[in-house]
Amino acid sequence: MTKIFILGGGGMLGQKLANQLVKNASETAAELDISLFDVAFPPETLAGVTKITGNISHPAEIQKIAAQRPDIIYHLAAIVSGEAEADFDKGWQVNMFSMWALLEALRIENRESGGSYIPKIIFTSSIAVFGGPFPNKIDDEFLSAPQTSYGAQKAACELILSDFSRKGFVDGISLRLPTICVRPGKPNLAASGFFSGIIREPLNGQTASLPVPDTVRHWHASPRAGANFLIHAAKLDTNFLNNRRALNLPGVSCTIAEQIEALRKVAGQSAVDLIVPRADRAIVKIVDGWPQNFAPERALALGFKAEANFEEIIATYLEDDLPTAHSLKNL
């Protein structure tokens, strides 16, 4: 029986991951004991998993998790970038010091087990660890020079996780996720939200604002690809990482014009007509500092896979999150 914890299991990606793990397990008859840990959960219940409500910034709750000695911990819990930028204290405490507390609690379990307990830690880092100016494509040896507190916290966690792993206390890997698109559900307040919004809202018959020029290029992967990255990482033999335990992941690099063209192919001009250009200089400025393209050779060689183009990303959204979309014009 493999014991799995998903920290941040109430979030969009945590839920996708849990669903996928349950589905995979039922197909392979694997026995999984899956616990989701988060401050809150969506109302839907997911069969076969345990929900634990708690806060990773409380040391006692971290210690309780460690004491259960999970085989695999997916650590997705975080204060998002906008809030981490607005609340400096909270961002560092939750995003970095909670990672430290978690790893320290696991190190104690490792010691008490005589070194035999070495949990796998899959940590969701972010392309926010990078800051401009950027090369045409960011390669696997490009420096991490974050320009947000969120990015700095993720980069610091990578270093800490890597050192705990090098010493053999845990077996960790940091995944620098592309922007996850198309996010299902309601718009959120992330500055990156419009990348999903301009696809999701029109597919649901709603208008969507486009706050930046359509020449903006960015790096995307679907929620399904995101969940599969995490699952694939847990199966990796980390010896192949040669002690470089932070990975740039595959994704789709495209401009907003290319996103819109993909939408047109999938759902027609009437969907595209629902996108309303409405310049927002604050968002333009933020997005200007974001990576646009990668050459993630290590991750590709290690078997990580994303979509091949933005049309596939839209198709994934329709399959996974909008089954009613079969009424759409071009489907």
Q: Residue numbers of the site for a copy of itself (CB under 8 A)?
A: 88, 131, 135, 140-147, 149, 152, 155-156, 159-160, 162-163, 166-167, 243-244, 246
Nearer to a copy of itself by C-beta: 119 or 146?
Answer: 146
The residue from 74, 117, 150, 317 that is catalytic is: 150
Structure tokens belonging to residue 310? 């933005």
Nearer to a copy of itself by C-beta: 244 or 265?
Answer: 244
Q: How many residues does the chain have?
A: 331
d(CA 213, CA 284): 8
d(CA 175, CA 229): 8
**Shortest distance in whole angstroms from residue 315 CB to a copy of itself:** 34
Nearer to a copy of itself by C-beta: 101 or 180?
Answer: 101
The closest alpha carbon to 289, from 230, 210, 203, 218, belongs to 218
φ/ψ of residue 52, rounded to 5: -125, 120
Nearer to a copy of itself by C-beta: 138 or 254?
Answer: 138
φ/ψ of residue 171, rounded to 5: -130, 90
**Shortest distance in whole angstroms from residue 119 CB to a copy of itself:** 17
Nearer to a copy of itself by C-beta: 162 or 192?
Answer: 162
Active site residue 150: yes
Say how many CA atoms lie within 13 Å of 84 toward its Cβ: 22
DSSP SS3 for 217: strand
**Shortest distance in whole angstroms from residue 104 CB to a copy of itself:** 9
**Shortest distance in whole angstroms from residue 136 CB to a copy of itself:** 13
First to last CA, the chain: 42
d(CA 276, CA 152): 34
The closest alpha carbon to 23, from 227, 211, 213, belongs to 227
For residue 179, count other CB atoms closer than 10 A to its CB.
22
d(CA 160, CA 172): 10
**Shortest distance in whole angstroms from residue 164 CB to a copy of itself:** 9
**Shortest distance in whole angstroms from residue 49 CB to a copy of itself:** 34
Q: Looking only at Cα atoms, what is the longest distance across the chain? A: 64
Residues noted as catalytic: 150
